[in-house]
Structure 1
Amino acid sequence: MATQTRPLSTAEGFICGGFAACTAVTFSNPAEVAKTRLQLQGELARNGGVKVYKGALDVLAKTWKNEGFRGLQRGLSPAYVYQILLNGSRLGFYEPFRRTCNRIVGHSPTEQIAATSVAAGAGTGIVGACLGNPLFLIKARMQAYSPALPVGTQHYYKGPVDALATIYRAEKFRGLVRGIDAAMLRTACGSAVQLPTYNWTKNHLTQAGITSTGSVLTFLASSTVSGACVCLAMQPADTALTRMYNQPTQRLASGKMVGLLYKNPFDCLWKTLKTEGPFGLYKGSTAHFLRIAPHT
């Protein structure tokens, strides 16, 4: 007799999503390091500025040569905690959010509707981004740091605890939520397309008879398509987030710490587009795709 599978509870979805993301980030973190450094290379410089790195593979090769395995895995420990908070929220709360959105617009909770799926993806992504912002902040700064081939502003921390303590001493709570507006924009863009495109691709492949339900090929193809869509939608906001996190700051006469380069993510996007052109918004996109695919 066939057994019926029940949907995961919110708590089970949160735990499974967080665990799966931590497994993926162990392998994808070097690509994240490459992406971060490429996004900061030639920041606000016309014609790309001085190129320390030629591309994602060149970053990986030079980082391995100059910094070893430790350099490739910079920021891994805060990345674990961030992934638990972000993907645990996205995967754990996605179905409850989607079913609630369906009920609000008068549809069955089990019905797959593009608009409510996008809304649920964006909403859960924003929740996760807010929870994980301090961890993403220190992760980005730790990954950008290189004693051998520095690009962008350099922030040196002994570890994640030292990073959080240093930022809090200098800027208090405001420093820990620096860039949260950019984080919400970035994650909303990515989450709005990640699960909807993954589910759409998987359903299309199986219903058309191209692949079978539950096959490895189905999951790989769905992940690849979804990863490409996420990268395309999220890359400009991701570049803005990295630059806002990493920008130098100064203290005003009022005591408030402000960024020297950007006021908000839209200011960052505009300045990047104006000085570096459209390609400036997509720096590190190859490395970004290599990071996204395992997570999808």
Structure 2
Amino acid sequence: MDFLVGGLAGVGAGFFSNPFDVVKTRMQLQGELRAKGQHAVHYRNIPHAMYTIVKHDGIASLQKGLVPALWFQLVVNGVRLGIYQQADNYGFLRDKTGNTVFINSLFFGAVSGACGAFFGSPLQLVKTQLMSYSSEKIAVGTQHAHRGFVYATRRIYEKNGFGGLWRGAHGMMIRNSIGSASQIACYSVCKEWMDRNDVFQQSKYMSAFMASNVGAITKTVALTPMDVIMTRLYNQGVDAQGRGVLYSGIMDCARKITKAEGLTAFYKGMAPSYLRQAPHTVLLLVFWDILKNLQQAWETQSMVKDIHQ
């Protein structure tokens, strides 16, 4: 049940944050391996990017990649939050007074994030390639011309085999490990501090809302460089052997970005990334809190019913 609760929380959050993910992906691919001023700028900022996408590809394009994105949320957060909750259930996260130990939360957040990323990597691969595809006038990065989720999955499998669907999985595991650890550890510690000190207690979920914003900021800053690298690796074309035509791996990608675009390129798309992470993290963790409370209430009710019987 813990795994299902985590997955459903991710799906609920993913639907609302997906348009910002589309914008973030396009901005991270814009000017790929080109120096500043040496490439066309189709997406100047978030409002301009949304206007440009809608103008050329229609309003529905802001939800490109939604199907694999929601499946990704179900799988990744189901595994991630499920493992994290199990660690909490077995007493690995808290001290003798019941407070979350930051380093323990950080560790299990990283481990659970890496596990979730491994299972969700094929969905992220397909999602990235679907989000990057656009009208020729505003195209950035490699254009894969997939017609949809099933078509893209089948096409990748036919071209590169089963292993091709997990191309870049190791990088995705590092990315999610960083993001998960920073997000969930900051959220847990901040929320408990607010609850203990009677801060933001105006409503039942106010502390969860505020703590999740702290988690979103921390995650965005920590995650963005690796997120840029993974967007590039996932979206690049591959040769007949399934090897990337632009980058051979994480270090090669980082080196080429630094050389061609400069260190600031690692924070391309940070604004839409935050605007995606903020509502996504808030909705994810608040939904998670609500669903856990409903789960606990249902389990308590079942126990009471069994006792009376």
Q: TM-score, normalised by structure 2?
A: 0.85
Deviations 1:53-84 (A, max 9, x none): 10122111111122222211100001111100
Deviations 1:153-197 (A, max 9, x none): 101111111111100111001210111111011100101111110
Indicate which of 127, 145, 152 corresponds to 1:139: 127
Indicate which of 237, 261, 285 corresponds to 1:276: 261
- Separation in 1 of the partners of 2:115 and 2:91? 16
Indicate which of 270, 273, 292 corresponds to 1:285: 270
User: Which aligned pairs between 1:28-177 and structure 2 lie closer than 5 A?
Assistant: 28-47=17-36, 49-98=39-88, 102=92, 110-147=98-135, 148-177=137-166
Q: Which runs of 5+ in 2 are unaligned?
A: 282-309
Deviations 1:111-168 (A, max 9, x none): 5212211110011111111111111100000000002411011011111111111001
- Separation in 1 of the partners of 2:209 and 2:33? 37
Aligned letter for 1:270? R
- Structure 2 match to 1:226: 215
Give the RMSD, CA atoms, in angstroms: 2.0
- Structure 1 match to 2:175: 186
- Seen in structure 2, the aligned counterparts of structure 1 residues 108 and 171 have a Cα distance that, compared at 3 Å, is farther
- Seen in structure 2, the aligned counterparts of structure 1 residues 273 and 47 have a Cα distance that, compared at 3 Å, is same
SS in 2 for 1:240: helix
> Which moves more between the two structures, 206-215 or 118-127?
206-215
- Separation in 1 of the partners of 2:11 and 2:59? 18
1:257: how far off? 2.0
- Separation in 1 of the partners of 2:21 and 2:194? 30
- Seen in structure 2, the aligned counterparts of structure 1 residues 108 and 93 have a Cα distance that, compared at 3 Å, is farther
SS in 1 for 2:115: helix
Aligned letter for 1:141? Q
1:37: how far off? 0.2
- Whether the 8 Å contact between 2:23 and 2:49 is mirrored in structure 1 is yes
- Separation in 2 of the partners of 1:257 and 1:210? 53
- Whether the 8 Å contact between 1:33 and 1:73 is mirrored in structure 2 is yes
- Seen in structure 2, the aligned counterparts of structure 1 residues 99 and 264 have a Cα distance that, compared at 3 Å, is farther
The runs of 4+ residues in structure 1 deviating greater than 4 Å are: 98-101, 106-111
- Paired residues in the alignment total 279
SS in 2 for 1:257: coil
Q: Percent identity?
A: 36
Q: TM-score, normalised by structure 1?
A: 0.88
- Whether the 8 Å contact between 1:102 and 1:108 is mirrored in structure 2 is no
Aligned letter for 1:87? N
- Whether the 8 Å contact between 1:44 and 1:271 is mirrored in structure 2 is yes
SS in 1 for 2:92: helix
